[in-house]
Amino acid sequence: MGLDADERPLALVCVGPISREPGLVDLGLQVADDRHRQGIGTALARQAAWIARTHGAHTRTAFTQASNAPMLRLLERLGPTQHTRDGPYVEVRVALDALAPDTLPPAGTASP
C-alpha cells in the first residue's frame, strides 16, 4: 500500500498465487480515483511483474471488467496478453517471460 503526502491511501498492489497452477500469479491493483492517469498503476504493475518473475512466475493474470479500458491498456503495455471473456468480465494473462523491455526496473535496482 502506498500513501500520499497526507498519509491517505494512494494505491494498493498485490501479486501472488491464486491457483495450484505452477508459475501463475494474480495481480490485484487499485489506485485512488483522483490519482488515475499519473503512471502510478503502471509503475506498480511493472514492479509486481518483476518481483513475480524473480520468484519463478512465468504468467500473471488479472480479472477485470471487460469495460475497464484503462486497465486493459495497462496490461497490454506489459507484454503479450491472452484474453478470456467471462460475461461482463475478462481474464487477462500476461507472459512474464516475454516482458516488454520497459517493464524492468532501472539498472542498479536491488532485487527484492
Chain segment 76-104, per-residue pLDDT in tens:
888 889 999 999 999 999 988 766 555 45
**What total of structural domains would you count in the chain?**
1
Q: Answer whether residue 11 is part of any domain.
A: yes
Which residue bears the cell 498492489?
Answer: 13
Q: Answer whether residue 108 is part of any domain.
A: no
Q: Answer whether residue 49 is part of any domain.
A: yes
Helices (H) and strands (E) in the chain, counts: 2, 6
Mean pLDDT computed over 10-36: 87
Q: Answer whether residue 14 is part of any domain.
A: yes
Looking at every residue in the chain, the average pLDDT score rounds to 82
The answer to whether 78 touches 94, Cβ cutoff 8 Å, is yes
Give me the domain span that covers residue 84. 2-103
Q: Answer whether residue 34 is part of any domain.
A: yes
Which of 30-44, 65-79, 89-103 shows the lowest per-residue confidence on average (mean pLDDT)? 89-103
Q: Answer whether residue 24 is part of any domain.
A: yes
The answer to whether 95 touches 58, Cβ cutoff 8 Å, is yes
Q: Answer whether residue 109 is part of any domain.
A: no
pLDDT band at 56 (very low <50, low <70, confident <90, very high): confident
Residue 105 pLDDT more than 70?
no
Distance CA 61, CA 24 (A): 7
Q: Answer whether residue 72 is part of any domain.
A: yes
CATH of the domain at 55: 3.40.630.30
Q: What is the pLDDT at residue 110?
A: 45
